[in-house]
A and B are shown apart, each in its own frame.
Chain A
Amino acid sequence: RKEVEQDPGPFNVPEGATVAFNCTYSNSASQSFFWYRQDCRKEPKLLMSVYSSGNEDGRFTAQLNRASQYISLLIRDSKLSDSATYLCVVNGGGGSYIPTFGRGTSLIVHP
């Protein structure tokens, strides 16, 4: 089983739609979780950190479920500019800050 798994997609949605991505992780000792956004041929940029039960930033909401070992990202009112690959990142836990990246979920928002 891979350490961090994501549905690669692509998710193809119209503008204004709500879309949700899930990410599962295998290391139950993991302490911190992040969502990054990566545009084509660019570096990842931090979208949200998820430290406790989840957090919200505008149209973006991240949730953490430790019991089931998954985190989710919800995007409401999708914009064309939201089209990108969304990477789930989990830090190792047990005192380790080594990050593990998921493969990424591709989102395409169309008019």
Chain B
Amino acid sequence: GAVVSQHPSWVICKSGTSVKIECRSLDFQATTMFWYRQFPKQSLMLMATSNEGSKATYEQGVEKDKFLINHASLTLSTLTVTSAHPEDSSFYICSAQPGTFTDTQYFGPGTRLTVL
């Protein structure tokens, strides 16, 4: 089956630092990847849609300068949380779609970010 990995699985950082999270599709090419954030007891909130070779599309209310997304290849997308603050502490999950005209998503295991 399609496998998506995320790295790191958890990270603790100091306020003001930047954190990079990687999302990789291991056995398929992903034209589109999604980045989500999930707070405790809340649903997944879509942050942005990342397409290979083009700029990410951010959802309303998500600061593009704070959450930098780079989809440099068909198997890798990165999310960088810049100048992290405690309120950025959350569970960040990526998902990948194999191909353009398919709507099946495969999720990564998530990254738990704690900002002190």
Contact = CB atoms under 8 A, between A and B. Distances in A.
Contact of A98 (B46, B102, B110): B46
Contacts of A45: 107
Q: Which of B49, B103, B110 has the most CB of A within 10 A?
A: B103
Interface in A8-31: 31
Nearest to B6: A43
A63 B34 CA distance: 27
A99 B105 contact: yes
Given A41-B112, A44-B107, 12 more contacts: A32-B103, A41-B91, A41-B110, A42-B110, A45-B107, A87-B43, A91-B103, A97-B101, A98-B46, A98-B49, A101-B43, A103-B42
B107 A97 contact: no
B34 A99 contact: yes
Contacts of B105: 46, 99
B93 interface: yes
Contacts of B8: none
Interface string A26-60: 00000110000000011111100100000000000
Contact of B104 (A41, A43, A46): A46
Contact of A49 (B32, B43, B104): B104
B36 to A, nearest CB: 8
Given A49-B104, A91-B103, A97 B32 contact: yes
14 contacts: A31-B103, A43-B109, A43-B110, A46-B105, A87-B44, A97-B97, A97-B101, A97-B102, A97-B103, A99-B46, A99-B105, A100-B46, A101-B44, A102-B43
